Structure 1
Amino acid sequence: MPQIYQERFELGDATQQRLVGAQLSHQASYPPMWDRGIFMCGISEAGGTLEIERIDAPFHVLLFTRQGQGELFEGEQRWYTGPDTIAVLPSGGQRGFRHSGSEPWLYAWVLLSAVSRWQGLARPRCSVHASPDCVALNEAVALFHTEAERFDRQPGSDLAQPALELLVLALERALQPLREHAGWPRTLLALFDHIGARLQQDWPNERMAEQVGITPNHLHRLCVQHFGVAPARYLFQLRMQHARELLLHGQSVSAVANAVAYREVASFSRQFARHFGFSPSQTLPRFNQRLVVPAAGPQA
């Protein structure tokens, strides 16, 4: 089933962006990006207002700051990103970022499809990491943008292909330190990926712990350490996110309740409303009212 997601943009007049996308509708387009798991990339300079928030995005967002400062937000949590840092906003969830401070924020951004090549980015929360590769990434994205624009004007002049390969190599080098420290987070994510495909089943703590060969208490400690919540709470969030996606695709409330292991529709409706602030039956109307889709597709 195609994934539906929401986007909210607030971009002031002092914010400038250049982008390349895999779709032909983008300002500059280069479809071979799909083969590398790259949906879109670009360079942004925010001299004033810039705030972007997404719900259930099917791609990871990477921000490589060269100058200035930004702020990531997810619920009540905040992370600050400055020069020579990589900010990671994983796919899914409800999270975003904004310009902060008085200095212009100059950064390169990349939207990576949630495919196996970039699976090390699949994490439960945002994160910020120091990196010596931010300048190189900004320059690699700028070069690729230039060559992709030229390719659009003169299809026979294709330096976009080697420029794309350079960008991919720069990305893989910059992200390697993040992959080396995956450890238990990767194991836990694999566990919850397995559970996420079986949300109609009951998953007590004992059964979840058994899947990775540890005790329920050990699983609890690991989830709190790496995810910030207990395993039962993380499972609840998975159920609610899946329920919202099914409702957005037009399934009935009773069918969705069964799909996320609720035996009583009333109990499901109460938990859903408590989590999101509106009832299951209001999900699709609210989505239709709030959805904002820019003409050129998503940006960062």
Structure 2
Amino acid sequence: MTGARRVVFVVFDGMKMLDLAGPAEVFAEANLFGAAYSPAHVSPSGRPVATSTGLRLAVDGTARDVPDADTVVVTGGDALVTRPIDPELVAAVRTLAPRTRRLVSICTGSFVLAAAGVLAGRRATTHWRHAPLLARSYPDIRVAPDALYVEDGGIHTSAGVSAGIDLALALVEQDHGADLARSVARSLVMFMQRPGGQSQFSAPLEVRPPRTAALRAVVDLVSARPSLDHGASTLAARAGVSPRHLARLFAAELGTTPARYVEQVRLDHAKALLDAGHGVAETAREAGFGSAETLRRTFVSRLGVSPSQYRDRFGSTRPRPREDPGAAGEPTG
């Protein structure tokens, strides 16, 4: 393929198959509309790898065996956050980083980039479940936990799995413009830009029981009865401490403020109610937001979508009787 942009995928045993297949399909689809991407696959050892699905994937050699690349894509995998990362995998990224125009990670592949030192001082993201671990493990990285993908100085990181498809489409648009990218999006039945961020997909807040009895009582009450008055003064009175002391307890043990904690618990409760099919007004009342408008503002601010949009996306896999313009399955751009 004359004049092709070489895209090198760095793969390894246990890599998430969709982290490779999703972006690869976007680049392949772009070729049908006039782009020229040429894929290559490398592994730390140069041997075939076993993917997360059990499928064995042939490779073109090691990082040292491929010529300079236009784009290097580092795939993710579950083991990257549970075990030490293979030094040969880190070395492969260090070998390729100075030889590419654009370095990309999909999902937990960001941990490989971090281990290679290329994310130091940069903004980056990863799967919402592992964003806190990335921030703790590499405090010199400015982790953006809600972003679907982030670019900083030619280094691109994406959120979990399918967000890698979103990022690949953004790279196609960067290379060939919005018209070609829009054609790819329509062909693959995807959004040009997915509404909202990662928070709409995240699981409910998990908090270790606080050590302090007073704080533990407050946290238990908020979780059990989110619709009660949980203002700072009210919570402090229930705990038998001053509002200032309660704020110090929240900061020391939970790393947040009382107001932020209450809002998060109420948001999680509202998401669960909407998942179960409850109406917006009822959800607002039961979750403690007081009004549907307050609930809407919180959802848009924190999740990037309205309560009704959230319910439509996560309430059921059954098709809605009537699709709104721009709903999932109708790519926009």
Q: Normalising by the residue count of structure 1, what TM-score does the alignment of the two structures yield?
A: 0.41
Which protein has greater RCO, CA pairs closer than 8 Å, 6+ apart?
1
- The structure whose Rg is larger is 2
Q: Normalising by the residue count of structure 2, what TM-score does the alignment of the two structures yield?
A: 0.37
